[in-house]
Structure 1
């Protein structure tokens, strides 16, 4: 009987032997892959050369931001229900010296935007392309009021429809 007991335990030991070695190999391979990927990522980040050394805003010209008080306008709706648009945006001047001109003419800019915003329908504001169209129209009207070269961009902060 002792011979059978030895032969039964021998295969069990043979099966247990490779499993821990396989686990160790997988763990070592995983650690090696992490180290290689980390090294490759660090090398890629460091190889940026001049681009990596530039300050965050170095490529952007100096600009000045004029925050506009929130606007609430009625929207034109076909069903007769009262619909509103709350809009908060910032006008970006081409340079800091022109921000004062924008601040002085802000009532005129808002007056130019009112007819456009009041003619919008709720359907006109659906989707991301709609926000882009509204932004472009606001930019065109601000440029019309102030003249070319004063406004660089209009940044929409909030556009809420009720």
Structure 2
């Protein structure tokens, strides 16, 4: 006990203070390393995803047969060329979409879809439809027409293409 009295108070607290400082420094170093490791993980692993836009989830295609009121799956159009010759065209058409809401709108308004497409087909020039480019142009016009109709009925234009599954012209 005599030794205890001979030491000044500053010496007694110095060893304890040194241990506390050492523990605090070690704890701070561990925290800094953990934070650095977490940040590195976030930027290296999470950075790849945030650098590129997330790929949209690809939904399965929905094909909607465009049918007349009688349930016939085809259009029959009478065409007249500028020379006065009459031609007939038969088209089987399906709309391709990935949005169930678009499918619902098309099915709900099928008579209007059929009427508008019928008008488009009967006003086409048979001379233009004699080659593949003319048929593709008609197909693009049909796609735009159906998309406008869907949009007018409150949906998003989600028809990718109106496919002609059978096309006959004579």
Give the shorter-chain TM-score range. Answer: 0.5 to 0.7
Give deviations 1:10-38, integer Å, cap 9, x for gaps.
xxxxxxxxxxxxxxxxxxxxxxxxxxxxx
Aligned match of 1:152 in 156, 160, 163? Answer: 160
Relative to the length of structure 1, the TM-score reads 0.58
1:151, 1:102 → 2: CA distance? 10
1:128 aligned to 116, 126, 132, which one? 132
Q: Distance in 1 between matches of 2:58 and 2:129?
A: 30
Q: Post-superposition, which runs of at least 4 consecutive aligned residues in structure 1 deviate over 6 A?
A: none
Determine the structure 1 residue equivalent to 2:18: none
Tell me how far 1:74 sits from its aligned partner: 0.7
Unaligned runs of 5+ in 1: 1-58
* Alignment of 1:138 onto 2:136: no
- Could you tell me how far apart the structure 2 residues matched to 1:60 and 1:79 are? 48
The size of the alignment, in residue pairs, is: 104
- 5+ residue gaps, structure 2: 1-56, 67-72
What is the Cα-based RMSD across aligned positions, in Å? 1.8
Q: Which has the larger radius of gyration?
A: 2
CA–CA separation in structure 2 for the residues paired with 1:149 and 1:89: 18
Report SS of the residue matched to 1:92.
Answer: strand
